[in-house]
Amino acid sequence: MRVNIVLIDSENVKPEALEKLKHEHFRVVVFVGANLKKVDIGVAKALQGLGDRGSYIQISGNGPNALDFHIAFYIGKMAPEYPDAYFHIISNDKGFDPLIKHLKEEHKIFCARKSSISEIPIVKSSEKLSAKERAEDFWEKRLLPLAIDKRPGTVKRLQGAILSHFYKLISDDDVVAVVTALQAGKKINVAGQKVSY
């Protein structure tokens, strides 16, 4: 699973929905201004819930774009450590966009800017789709490209593949609903614990 590093510009956006990042493939860094004296208790609790995968960085000094420069520095620092990571900058500041374009085109670093955590594609796709939409997405992107003999042959393996496909961001009940939708759409047949296509 690719590591997703979420870098939050807390001077520009209020960190929200941190609980959606409670999965082992997320790393979260909240950047706060040099003059910040108090942290919102909800944000603090959510970040603590991430354990060593969540942290604060209080920037040094003040000045125009000081926090932005810190975020850029930390991307440069973390990119060699996580060469296949996807960096998500959470900020409304469009000044990041030229940097992101440069990172993607010149250095092949996966990076994007979003205005909120809920806009991160893997978070968004996991929470807003119906069981039928998830089944279609899983079928088209995960199963259809595979030869029939390479597809999961048991219910347990199919459920594991579904959970993995949605980055472990959906519940066990949601996984079962996807299996049911695949059956209803006549994409799979389940006999006991065996799956056929």
Tell me the pLDDT tens digit for each residue of 96-108.
999 999 999 999 9
Question: How many domains, in total, are found in the chain?
Answer: 2
Name the pTM for this structure: 0.67
DSSP annotation of 40 reads: -
- Average of pLDDT values for 117-144? 85
**pLDDT tens-digit series, residues 141-183:** 899 999 999 999 999 999 999 988 886 778 899 999 999 999 9
Question: Do residue 161 and residue 192 come from a single domain?
Answer: yes
Considering the domain architecture, whether residues 45 and 87 belong to the same structural domain is answered as: yes
Burial class (CB in 10 A: 0-12, 13-18, 19+), 176: middle
Q: Give me the numbers of helices (H) and strands (E) for the chain, helices first please.
A: 7, 7
Q: Which CATH number characterizes residue 51's domain?
A: 3.40.50
Whether 82 and 176 share a structural domain = no
Q: 48 and 9, same structural domain? A: yes
What is the span of the domain harbouring residue 144?
129-196
Please write the tens of the pLDDT for every residue from 53-81: 999 999 988 888 899 999 999 999 999 99
* Of 99 and 18, the one with more pLDDT: 99
Cβ burial of 88 (10 Å; 0-12, 13-18, 19+) is buried
